[in-house]
Amino acid sequence: MEAILTKELTKYYGKVRGITGLNLSVAEGEFFGFIGPNGAGKSTTIRSLLGLISPTSGEAKIFGRDIRTEKEAILAECGYLPSEAIFYPGMRVKDAIRLSADLRRKNCSEEAERLCERLKLDPSRKIDELSFGNRKKVGIVCALESNPRLLILDEPTGGLDPLIQHEFFEILRERNEKGTTVFLSSHVLSEIRRYCRRAAVIREGKLIACDSVEALSKTNARRVSVRGQVDLEGLDGLRDVTRTEGGVSFLYSGDMHPLLQRLAGSEIADLNVTEPDLEEIFLHYYQKEEA
Amino acid sequence: MIIVKHELKQGRTAFWIWAGSIAALLGICIFLFPEMKSEMDTVSDMFASMGAFTAAFGMDKLNFGTLIGYYAIECGNVLGLGGAFFAAICAVDILSKEERVHTADYLLSHPVSRVRIMTEKLASVALRILVMNGLIYLISIGSMAAVGESVPWKEVNLLHLAYFLLQLEIAGICFGLSAFLTRGSVGIGLGLAALLYFMNLIANITKSAEFLKYFTPFGFCDGATIVDEGKLDAGILAAGLALGALGILAAYLKYPKKDIR
């Protein structure tokens, strides 16, 4: 069964584009990455799925339930962590966690206690006095304490220190192994590479790629770094050309033969050809049409 | 009842400040009455000769020398305006604050329908108004007894009932506004309460503006008329309650479909 399924999901804010014709499918039990630049439509997608905004057209289902008509049943099975975890003024950590459990009509005190311990969160502290990272931890506990079938996490690691980030992903990995579907919207590509099996890339409100992280990472482009003088004028398949003192670095996805000819005719002190890293590949997705 | 409890907890400081201030002011005014009673003949004459101002506050129909005459005017200014402001602030912010302080994502991502959230929030506003009025009523009655005056039960009860209904009407209208607003809601609520108050003053001054009484809850709270006739004006009251109900209806039509930013 699909945990998330959208068909031609479209959202316009008046005349402003949110997302257009989004077709997305996330199977139950997947650890799924959702990536895209700022303003691409990631939050619009998430907010539509959670019923915070109504889609202009198209349809979306979570565990086979329609987001328009079965919102409460869907939310009962979802844990959501917004990118900015904001709570009511004057509340203590334990109050926010308790209120979240009460709104779900569940007693989650044992699980909440376990999570607080693992994330090193003091439940007696006032939320107003907490740092951004610690407020995020409160949001994580609220999202996870009821053991939901689907976790929707929007930029979950912002503000968390590396040790807590590691612990957080360990918790997610454990939950995922037990069958929880994790939908992770993130800018941090190393997180996507390390934890997600599949990922989708969204740009300008449209889904431009959706595949296994391995397949998305595959490219025939190479990062070429040259120390010396080389004339690149007229070469096809050049991207991200960075000139430095005494050299040049670029991504090359064209025919190797003309590049080798140029290099052979140049004065080169050193040459390095490597596979581009994941960041560079996704940057390529982000900037595809501009290139 | 989780949201009712949560809202009452969130609004408790504001509640005690408003309820305490209004009750204390009313109590102080009542305690001042015995001292002022002896001078009231002169004061009544002075107030009766202030032309339009006299009519605006209904001072042409009331005898300041009696407790109820004094209380009706004082009640109108302290409980009427204070209660209206409190009801407006409570109701106009109750839905919109979730977006204003960015807690909407937290609240609305839980498995509780928006209609249920609205109903519980509305109940919390009504409960606050009810408890505040109960408290103020008890303090007023207690203060009257404490200064040794006999309580004019019928008139006092009618006045307090009128102001309670006034607050419910304003709360209903402001609840409707709250569903549409995201920012600046408190200012709008206070402005609306003040506007409704002044609409009644204008209606009291000129005959041609008397129709305004049907559009402001202060129209059925006119202390002079209540004391004079011993009843609330059913027509104005019905129009007022209908306005409040319209506000609530508008909120129920808008908020369940509202895009939360």
Residues A46 and A121 in one domain: yes
Q: B101 to chain A, minimum CA–CA distance in Å? A: 8
Residues A261 and A127 in one domain: no
Query: Is the CB of A104 inside 8 Å of chain B's CB atoms?
Result: yes
End-to-end Cα distance, chain B: 26
Of A188-192, B185-189, B226-230, which gets the smallest average pLDDT? A188-192
Residues A131 and A256 in one domain: no
Cβ-based neighbour number of residue A286 at 10 Å:
19
Q: Give the nearest partner residue to A75 out of B6, B105, B109, using CB atoms.
A: B109
Contacts of B113 in chain A (CB under 8 A): 71-72
- Any domain includes A75: yes
Q: A281 to chain B, minimum CA–CA distance in Å? A: 32
Query: Is the CB of A85 inside 8 Å of chain B's CB atoms?
Result: yes
**Which of these three, A213, A236, A256, is where a domain ends?**
A213
Contacts of B182 in chain A (CB under 8 A): none
Query: Is the CB of A127 inside 8 Å of chain B's CB atoms?
Result: no
What's the rounded mean pLDDT across residues A244-265? 88
Q: Give the nearest partner residue to A103 out of B101, B102, B112, using CB atoms.
A: B112
Q: Give the nearest partner residue to A53 out of B101, B110, B260, using CB atoms.
A: B260
- Please tell me which residue of chain B has the smallest CA distance to A55: B259
Residues A152 and A121 in one domain: yes
Residues A48 and A67 in one domain: yes
- Please tell me which residue of chain A has the smallest CA distance to B97: A88
Query: Is the CB of A80 inside 8 Å of chain B's CB atoms?
Result: yes
The number of domains in chain A is: 2
Distance (Å, rounded) from C-alpha A33 to C-alpha A212?
10
Q: Is A17 exposed, middle or buried (0-12, 13-18, 19+ CB in 10 A)?
A: middle
Per residue in A220-241, pLDDT (tens digit) is 778 899 999 888 888 888 877 8
Per residue in A14-24, pLDDT (tens digit) is 999 999 999 99
Say yes or no for a CB contact (<8 Å) between B257 and A54. yes
Residues A168 and A245 in one domain: no
- Higher-confidence residue of A112 and A282: namely A112
Distance (Å, rounded) from C-alpha B95 to C-alpha B107?
11
- Any domain includes A280: no
Residues A14 and A66 in one domain: yes
Which of A86, A94, A97 to substitute to test the interface with B, most B CBs within 10 Å? A86
Q: Give the nearest partner residue to B102 out of A76, A84, A102, using CB atoms.
A: A84
Say yes or no for a CB contact (<8 Å) between A75 and B110. yes
pLDDT for the residue numbered B59 = 63
pLDDT for the residue numbered B157 = 95
Pinpoint the alpha helices (H) of B114-233: 114-146, 153-180, 185-205, 223-229
Cβ-based neighbour number of residue B179 at 10 Å:
22
pLDDT for the residue numbered A270 = 92
Taking one residue from A and the other from B, the number of pairs with CB-CB distance under 8 angstroms is: 64
Query: Is the CB of B110 inside 8 Å of chain A's CB atoms?
Result: yes
Tokens 């595949």, residue located? A211
Say yes or no for a CB contact (<8 Å) between B105 and A52. yes
Sheet order of strands, A16-27 included: A16-27, A2-13, A57-62, A65-66
Q: Comparing C-alpha atoms, which of B114, B84, B51, B104 is closest to residue B256?
A: B114
- Please tell me which residue of chain B has the smallest CA distance to A82: B105
Residues A198 and A237 in one domain: no
Distance (Å, rounded) from C-alpha A92 to C-alpha A81?
18
- pLDDT bin (cut points 50, 70, 90) of residue B50 is low
Query: Is the CB of B260 inside 8 Å of chain A's CB atoms?
Result: yes
Say yes or no for a CB contact (<8 Å) between A87 and B107. no
pLDDT for the residue numbered A286 = 67
- Any domain includes A281: no
Query: What is the sign of the dihedral through the CA atoms of B63, B68, B70 and B74?
Result: negative
Say yes or no for a CB contact (<8 Å) between A75 and B259. no
DSSP B183: S
Query: Is the CB of B2 inside 8 Å of chain A's CB atoms?
Result: yes
CATH code assigned at A124: 3.40.50.300
What's the rounded mean pLDDT across residues B198-219? 88
Residues A188 and A66 in one domain: yes
**Which of these three, A162, A186, A213, is where a domain ends?**
A213
Interface of A with B in 12-71 (CB under 8 A): 13, 47, 50-54, 71
- The helix/strand/coil state of A35 is strand
Residue B185 confidence (pLDDT) above 50: yes
Say yes or no for a CB contact (<8 Å) between B111 and A85. no
Of A189-198, A203-212, B70-79, B187-196, which gets the smallest average pLDDT? B70-79
Query: Is the CB of B8 inside 8 Å of chain A's CB atoms?
Result: no
- Higher-confidence residue of B215 and B36: namely B215
| The total number of residues written for chain A in this structure | 291
Report the percent of chain A where pLDDT is more than 70. 96
Say yes or no for a CB contact (<8 Å) between B106 and A104. no
* Structural domain for A256, as ranges: 222-275
- Higher-confidence residue of B61 and A136: namely A136
- Please tell me which residue of chain B has the smallest CA distance to A76: B111
Distance (Å, rounded) from C-alpha B121 to C-alpha B108?
13
Q: Is B200 exposed, middle or buried (0-12, 13-18, 19+ CB in 10 A)?
A: buried
Residues A239 and A207 in one domain: no
Residues A66 and A184 in one domain: yes
In the numeric block, which tokens belong to residue B45? Answer: 């004459």
In the numeric block, which tokens belong to residue A149? Answer: 């079938």
Residue A291 confidence (pLDDT) above 80: no
**ipTM rounded to 2 decimals:** 0.84
Say yes or no for a CB contact (<8 Å) between B111 and A87. no
Per residue in A158-211, pLDDT (tens digit) is 889 999 999 999 999 999 999 999 999 987 778 888 899 999 999 889 998 899
What's the rounded mean pLDDT across residues A254-268? 89
pLDDT for the residue numbered A2 = 93
**Which of these three, A190, A213, A236, is where a domain ends?**
A213
Residues A145 and A194 in one domain: yes
Residue type, B238: A
Residue B37 confidence (pLDDT) above 90: no
